Amino acid sequence: RVANLYFLLTAILSLTPVCPFSPVSMIAPLAFVVGLSMIKEALEDWRRFMQDMKVNNRKVSVHKGDGEFEFRHWEDLCVGDVVKVEKDQFFPADLLLLSSSYEDGICYVETMNLDGETNLKLKRSLEVTLPLEEDETFKDFRGVIRCEDPNASLYTFIGNLDYERQVYALDPSQILLRDSKLRNTAFIYGVVIFTGHDSKVMQNSTESPSKRSRIEKKMDLIIYILFTVLVLISLISSIGFAVRIKLDLPRWWYLQPQNSNKLDDPTRPALSGIFHLITALILYGYLIPISLYVSIEVVKVAQAHFINQDIHMFDEETGNTAQARTSNLNEELGQVHTILSDKTGTLTCNQMDFLKCSIAGVSYGVRASEVERAAAKQMASGAADQDIPVQDVWESNEDEIQLVEGVTFSVGKTQKSSIKGFSFEDDRLMQGHWTNEPNSNMLLMFFRILAICHTAIPEVNEATGALTYEAESPDEGAFLVAAREFGFEFFKRTQASVFIKEKYTSSNGTTEREFKILNLLEFNSKRKRMTVIMRDEDNRIVLLCKGADTIIFDRLAKNGRLYEPDTTKHLNEYGEAGLRTLALSYRMLEESEYESWNAEFLKAKTSIGPDRELQLERVADLIEKELILVGATAVEDKLQTGVIMICWFLSCYVADPAITLVAVLTCYVSSHIVSGSSVH
């Protein structure tokens, strides 16, 4: 603080003969102000220290040898320790998942403290460590982990596990990060990889910056202005003093000028003026308001107390009140500086519904999307060219609107689907009628891709007995619900297999089929595709691939482009209807070709180095080619209430679509800020 520097300087000068006051009168206010700030900061630091101690003194069950576990503090964990973490507990360090209460070694993790995501992440252990499911099984457990050095990347991990004379590749799906929480899983066993400041969450932490509120910064500016005025006044006073000392002091015999000291020496008026400048700075120093800082410190402490006691910020679910860990920034609370938003999080609900699909060049699905229904209402009403109130158009309860002769769209309230994630409607595919279609083999492959090419886990709802799916994205969940409604129900997953109940593929009724998963090439933003290589019950090796249409089309074989023109046409139509699309394809593999490729894949997967991802991408490109196009999916991301009406209204008056989108975002965000709603 600028004021503290000033008062410190004046306190030092008060110890010199030029000071017109007692040193105590200058030092005491500074000691009081600084002491009060020190006490406040010390109290808040002590509270933070106690919170750190509370975390470090948490206990976790650690293997001490001979298959026995004991509780140990987090701060005492070492790399290589085997720990047991139970449901709803935080992970004490970065762990390699060995096994869990689920027989296939999966667990659910909440990473809210790491990335703010509330949806659960699925983690899966290596198949070779699945037998380590009880305390006694760790009696003779030995292994060696070779991995990358500690780093701040939360979403990557490169390493190998050397266990029972075999080397197994490790990836992020087996890593449990510190500060994430175990959910929906009774317990897990894991081995400590990184602890303390080597853990990824600590690698991402930075030293807390010195934060100062805008009021404090403005006070510093005021101090600068007042100090400038003080120096100006003192300078004028010292110049006048030097002039009077030189001209008048020799005539003032009663002051005994012959005995003057250097503070008022008429023979050296300049030096006397400098000394008087220092005296004036101290004498007029009360122009700097030290009491203002005391008042602000007291007010801030009181505000922090009121925040802690505020009933409106009480969380009934957890029973916790707000905690003001520091009072330095109280006045900054509630001040919006920047709003970052995009159209996905602002305009949609992130609720995916399977609406349409294109299979073997034929488009299926007769229901209209929200965008199509909006366009239908606009065209039917002619409100853009006629004097019709907007609200009247959108409150219309008509069930159908005819655009051209023979083409109608359902737009009324009967649109709402009773199955979450599935709004598809077409009798040609429902209730097993797809078996009567000309290209039933391609339809079968399409449904199997939906049911097999994913990373989701099925869960049984204990209340209803129905299956639900824990998927990494809402799109995958919608695909699995659609596959189930078409008669291909994914109901079980193990480390090596996926199990499907197929209703209409056999004359014997529902048939349970097992598809062995040989390899999984996961989706990411760079690859824009996902591939599963599986072995079916006829011992055939089949590659199933889904991804962005541009990526899939570039990898099609010459004989796999039969349906490309029709599929492209349908994809354009789905895009215009505001739907999210993916292309589906497959490829039959020879045993020798697969074995040769798999050896390359395992070699790349077990390599340790910065180019591991590049090697995996290169090997994936070797097999993800010569594909045969099956079709495409169209999923609707539901829009939030009122968005369509705003878009339609603006489109009546704004010709440029880009300007329309910007206007919609501005109106929508602004309306939520004004109304006090949360902006995602």
Residue 212 annotated as binding?
A: no
The number of residues making up the chain comes to 680
**How many whole angstroms separate alpha carbon 345 and alpha carbon 343?**
6
Residue 546 annotated as binding?
A: yes
Contacts of 394 by beta carbon, 8 Å cutoff, 6+ apart: 377, 645, 648
**How many whole angstroms separate alpha carbon 425 and alpha carbon 366?**
6
> Which tokens belong to 499?
């199990």
Contacts of 353 by beta carbon, 8 Å cutoff, 6+ apart: 417, 421, 422, 423, 478, 635, 636, 638
**Torsion angle (degrees, nearest 10) of CA 345, 350, 356, 358:** 70
User: Got the DSSP string for 403-461?
Assistant: EETTEEEE-SGGG--SBTTB----TTTGGGGGGGSTTHHHHHHHHHHHHHSS--EEEE-
Residue 123 annotated as binding?
A: no
Residue 343 annotated as binding?
A: yes
Q: How far is CA 167 from CA 27, 108, 124, 145, 163, in A?
A: 71, 26, 17, 10, 6
Residue 75 annotated as binding?
A: no
Say how many C-beta atoms besides its own lie within 10 A of residue 53's C-beta: 10
Q: How are beta strands 580-589 and 541-547 bridged, if at all?
A: antiparallel
342 a catalytic residue: yes
DSSP annotation of 315 = B
- In sign, the C-alpha dihedral spanning 185, 187, 191, 194 is positive
**How many whole angstroms separate alpha carbon 679 and alpha carbon 372?**
27
Residue pair 114/177 in contact by the 8 Å Cβ criterion: yes
**Residues paired with residue 172 on neighbouring β-strands, in sequence order:** none
Residue 476 annotated as binding?
A: yes
Query: Annotated catalytic residue: which of 315, 342, 385, 387?
Result: 342
Residue 344 annotated as binding?
A: yes
| 3-state SS class at 620 | helix
> Which tokens belong to 346?
């602002």
List the binding residues for ATP: 342-344, 476, 523, 546, 580
Binding residues for Mg(2+): 342, 344
Report the catalytic residues. 342
- Binding-site members are 342-344, 476, 523, 546, 580
